[in-house]
Amino acid sequence: MSRNGARPDLLVVGGGVIGLSVGREAARRGLKVLVLDRGEAGRGASWAAAGMLSPLAEVDVPGPFLDFGITSLRMYRDWVREIVEEVDAPVEYRECGKILLAFSPSDLDGLRKRKRLAERHSIPVTLLDSTGLEREEPALAPALSGGLLLEDDFRVDNRALVVALRESAHLGGVEIRTGTEVRTIQIEGDRAAGVVLADGTGISAGAVLVAAGAWSGELKGMPRPVPVRPVRGQMLSLAPTRPISTRMLEAADGYLVPRDDGRLLVGATMEEAGFREENTVDGTSRLLAVAHRIAPGLGSARVVELWSGLRPASLDGLPILGPDPDIANLYLATGHFRNGILLAPSTAASLGAAIAGDPIDPLPPEFLPGRMLAHEGSTKSS
């Protein structure tokens, strides 16, 4: 690669929020980094996301995943500030809060459980009955039974974030090659030696990081299959005739996320649809119904945009982070599923340090790639 033509210390496969964040961090720790993306870096799930920074919304049990999310959320303000200062471009990071909504007494019971979980982690939350919710959010449906106000849930414009991250990584010396598809991870003996591109070109590297999102399982040459599958999320955005809320609003079947320009994002479906990134009549209808159910005033809103993306989901729903158990200098950072935007700073800190050989708090064993050995079938990828 790179600045002086020497081989990279680290070659990152995939330039989404995860590959870019880890690559940027590794470069800050002194490594020569090359990021390869087969498309335009940052146009995968990281572009499609809603940008919620919301560790409690999709996790209702204590454990390492929730802890990692809370840690990452606490890093976000400084992490984003550094990036924004480096590139002088806004990423719309807003400490806006979220309300989890209950449409029934049983939903409200679920929120009480969530409240206890939040309190165990010293996260400030307020349970609202229907009157309290109406006072806080007068534009919402009168049928709501209440909500849980999470003041410490934030948001970021993920599309702006990946553009800024790309620029920040580049300024930090990371080489980013777009339109460059990796076909095979090259292993020599018991070490990762580099990659082979779809056009047959070989690139050698000191270490290889697989950060190819939902496509991580498609790479050839891995010592064992990477059990990550795509879970499609359809999204749309609206231009409401009147603002609904400055907060994010989330019900069991969907959510609304405001943007500073007045748009309201509506998300998202959860679908096993292979690698088909498309919006369907069913998906769009479901999203419109959720939006209307939460805020009936949205009936007059203009539909601005439809899009979809593929979440990288592992078999156990946890990220796959860290060194391969058998192959030296091969690392994985994938499987971030519904929370990759949130988990970018903590992933970058842990993996960046691990790859650079700097001391770190050990990654939770539940995230380590070695756990995949338990899921491994008899066939190996070739």
Shortest approach of ligand FAD to residue 135 CB, angstroms?
27
**52 binds ligand GLY per the rule CB under 6 A:** yes
Q: Which of 80, 268, 294, 363 binds ligand GLY (CB under 6 A)?
A: 268
Asked whether the beta carbons of 271 and 283 are under 8 A apart, the reply is yes
Q: Among residues 49 and 187, whose Cβ is nearest to ligand GLY?
A: 49
Q: Among residues 58 and 366, whose Cβ is nearest to ligand GLY?
A: 58
Q: Which of 338, 345, 346, 349 binds ligand GLY (CB under 6 A)?
A: 338
Q: Among residues 118 and 211, whose Cβ is nearest to ligand FAD?
A: 211
Which token pair is 371? 């756990």
The H or E element that residue 202 is part of is strand 202-204
Q: Which of 340, 345, 352, 369 binds ligand FAD (CB under 6 A)?
A: 340
Which token pair is 294? 């939460």
Piece in contact with ligand GLY (CB under 6 A), picked from 16-24, 50-58, 89-97, 172-180 = 50-58
From first CA to last CA, the distance across the chain in angstroms is 26
Which of 19, 89, 15, 80 has the alpha carbon at shortest distance from 53? Answer: 80
Q: Which of 10, 12, 16, 321 binds ligand FAD (CB under 6 A)?
A: 16
Residue 17 contacts which entry, ligand GLY, ligand FAD, none (Cβ below 5-8 A, type-dependent): ligand FAD
**18 binds ligand GLY per the rule CB under 6 A:** no
Print the SS3 string covering 251-285: ECCEEEEECCCCCEEEECCCECCCCCCCCCHHHHH
Count of CB atoms situated within 10 Å of the CB of 142: 9
Residue 345 contacts which entry, ligand FAD, ligand GLY, none (Cβ below 5-8 A, type-dependent): none
Shortest approach of ligand GLY to residue 177 CB, angstroms?
28
- The binding site for ligand GLY (CB under 6 A) comprises 50, 52, 58, 233, 267-268, 311, 338
